[in-house]
């Protein structure tokens, strides 16, 4: 699911750089890329991790395989259909709303499966703070899917091309970023990072304050009060970092067995990217006249924060989830994270310079940033394939998540 969106992103950026204008590219293609990355790749990753880990972490029974496969099939079909409708325009007036319906239905299967799982032990009945954050993110995703469905019906009946109108798309992207992606990462960070990085215990009240500030910022942005909303997003980001205590000295050794030693550094770097993303949004409100500062802020968030985090956490937990395997190559893990950081840095910096017309040479650097990011994501995919196909599985009796949270690995 990583490749269709990534290839289209690279293709779009090559076209934009060649023509030195983002306006010359079809909005349907830009949106096809964004949708494929966020729903196809990140969404599948979150649904998979959720199906595997949430019931176990809450002490419930196993999720039914039928539900999980039905969810996967509908989600994947929906994402693929959207890509085809946006890119090839084939029967798009039918496939656009159909894809959105399939994605919403898939999520409802996931939501039902997750909400059926109650903690078995009485002591566990009190909901932990990280679960509240995941509930906020899941509600954000549900809202996003409903807005996507409404948007797709509107476009199918009213528009001449398969793309959301610009203003609608901008608000939809705010919901996607701050309503769905960011709180999901916060939730899983709140659960796992204290153990993985040996951090001091979570400040639960500060985390809830971060969620509330984030929701306030999002509401303001969606209501069109973007100049105020972006400050709330920055405040929420800083609160989340204070809550998880990411930049405070660790009290225990980080658990880096089985992954590259740089793992704690890149997790912290991902949060630094989130600060960059939120700060660039404030700058964009003041100075953007080309879409470049907004684009840079969006990619600091989607590539710098979300993708770096997926490369860190994915390579940390997926080998164990898939049959207690060991990661194929820790060097490839480092290479992927290094190249992604380099590519994202070049992209964010040069996008502002090029799109805003501050430096013409930056247009020449942008395609290289895309190549670096593509190579990084391919390296990650190769490492995961190597892990699943070449590394032996080991059976376990105890739930693997418990072992992972207890950092046996
Ligand atoms: C190889 C890496 C990537 C490249 C080259 C790339 C390229 C692009 C380009 C050229 C745009 C058009 C707007 C602009 O100029 O800023 C864009 C938009 C976007 N990208 Fe990426 N991208 C990449 C990775 C990602 C990832 C990993 C995500 C999500 C996790 C993502 C999500 C988005 C979203 C949501 C949009 C906005 C689409 C819209 O206008 O509706 N991108 N990307």
Q: Walk along the chain (409 residues) and give the pLDDT tens digit of each residue.
A: 889 999 999 999 999 999 998 888 999 999 999 999 999 999 999 999 888 877 776 665 666 788 899 999 999 999 999 999 999 998 999 999 999 999 999 999 998 887 776 665 554 567 788 889 999 999 999 999 999 999 999 999 999 999 999 999 999 999 999 999 999 999 999 999 999 999 999 999 999 999 999 999 999 999 999 999 999 999 999 999 999 999 999 999 999 999 999 999 999 999 999 999 999 999 999 999 999 999 999 999 999 999 999 999 999 999 998 888 999 999 999 999 999 999 999 999 999 999 999 999 999 999 999 999 999 999 999 999 999 999 998 765 445 444 544 444 4
| Ligand 1 centroid distance, CA of 377 (Å) | 14
How far does residue 303's CA lie from ligand 1's centre (Å)?
A: 8
**328, 110, 66, 68 alpha-carbon torsion, rounded to 10°:** -10
Q: Which of 175, 32, 180, 34 is nearest to 96 (CA)?
A: 32
Q: For atom 15 of ligand 1, which residue has the closest CA?
A: 295
For the chain, the distance separating the N- and C-terminal CA atoms, rounded to the nearest angstrom, is 28
Substitution site in 3, 9, 10 for ligand 1 pocket (most atoms within 8 Å of beta carbon): 9
**Distance of CA 250 from the midpoint of ligand 1 (Å):** 34
Q: Determine whether 360 is exposed, middle or buried from the number of CB atoms within 10 Å of its CB (0-12, 13-18, 19+).
A: exposed
Ligand 1, atom nearest to 177 Cα? 35
Neighbours of 187 (CB within 10 A): 23
Mutation test of ligand 1: which of 28, 83, 290, 298 has the most ligand atoms closer than 8 Å to its C-beta? Answer: 298
Cβ–Cβ < 8 Å for 135, 54: no
For residue 294, how far is its CA from the centre of ligand 1 (angstroms)? 11
CA of 26 to the centre of ligand 1 (A): 13
Q: Cα of 286 to ligand 1 centre, how many Å?
A: 22
The CA-based angle 332-334-329, given to 5 degrees, is 35
Using CB distances shorter than 6 Å, the residues near ligand 1 are 6, 9-10, 12-13, 16, 22, 30-31, 33-34, 37-38, 42, 169, 173, 295, 298-299, 302-303, 306-307, 370, 373-374
Non-local (6+) Cβ contacts of 63 within 8 A are: 51, 55, 113, 117
CA of 178 to the centre of ligand 1 (A): 16
Report the alpha-carbon distance of residue 298 to residue 101 in Å, rounded: 26
Query: Residue 47: what are its φ and ψ, rounded to 5°?
Result: -60, -45
Residues 6+ positions from 246 with CB-CB distance below 8 Å: 189, 193, 197, 199, 267, 268, 271
pTM: 0.93
Per-residue pLDDT, 395: 60
Task: State how far the Cα of 317 lies from the Cα of 258, in Å rounded to an integer.
Answer: 10
């Amino acid at each position: 699911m990583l490749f269709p969106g990534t290839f289209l992103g690279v293709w779009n950026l090559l076209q934009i750089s060649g023509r030195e204008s983002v306006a010359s590219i079809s909005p349907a293609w830009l949106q096809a890329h964004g949708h494929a990355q966020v729903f196809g790749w990140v969404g599948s990753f979150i649904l998979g991790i959720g199906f595997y880990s949430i019931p176990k972490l809450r002490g419930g029974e196993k999720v039914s395989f039928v539900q999980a496969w039905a969810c996967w099939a509908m989600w994947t079909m929906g994402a693929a259909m959207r890509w085809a409708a946006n890119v090839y325009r084939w029967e798009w007036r039918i496939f656009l709303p159909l894809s959105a319906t399939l994605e919403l239905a898939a999520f409802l299967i996931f939501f039902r499966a997750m909400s059926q799982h109650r903690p078995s032990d009485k002591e566990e009945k009190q909901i932990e703070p990280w679960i509240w954050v995941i509930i906020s993110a899941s509600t954000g995703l549900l809202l996003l899917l409903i807005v996507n469905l409404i948007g797709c019906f509107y476009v199918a009946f009213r528009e001449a091309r398969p793309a959301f109108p610009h203003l609608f798309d901008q608000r939809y992207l705010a919901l996607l970023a701050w309503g769905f992606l960011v709180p999901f990462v916060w939730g899983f960070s709140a659960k796992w990072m204290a153990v993985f990085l040996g951090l001091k215990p979570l400040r639960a009240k500060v985390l809830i304050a971060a969620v509330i500030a984030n929701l306030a910022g999002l509401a303001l942005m969606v209501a069109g009060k973007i100049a105020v909303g972006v400050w709330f997003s920055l405040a929420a980001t800083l609160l989340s970092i204070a809550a998880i205590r990411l930049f405070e000295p660790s009290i225990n050794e980080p658990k880096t067995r089985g992954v590259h030693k740089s793992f704690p550094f890149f997790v912290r770097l991902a949060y630094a990217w989130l600060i960059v993303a939120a700060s660039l949004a404030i700058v964009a409100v003041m100075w953007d006249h080309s879409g470049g500062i907004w684009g840079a802020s969006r990619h600091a968030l989607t590539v710098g924060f979300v993708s770096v985090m997926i490369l860190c956490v994915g390579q940390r937990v997926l080998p164990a989830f898939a049959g207690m395997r060991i990661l194929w190559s820790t060097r490839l893990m480092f290479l992927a994270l290094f190249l992604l950081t380099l590519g994202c840095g070049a992209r964010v910096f040069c996008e502002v310079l090029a799109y805003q017309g501050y430096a013409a040479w930056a247009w020449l650097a942008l395609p290289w940033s895309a190549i670096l990011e593509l190579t990084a994501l391919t390296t990650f995919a190769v490492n995961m394939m190597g892990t699943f196909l070449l590394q032996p599985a080991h059976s376990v009796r105890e739930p693997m998540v418990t072992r992972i949270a207890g950092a046996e690995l």
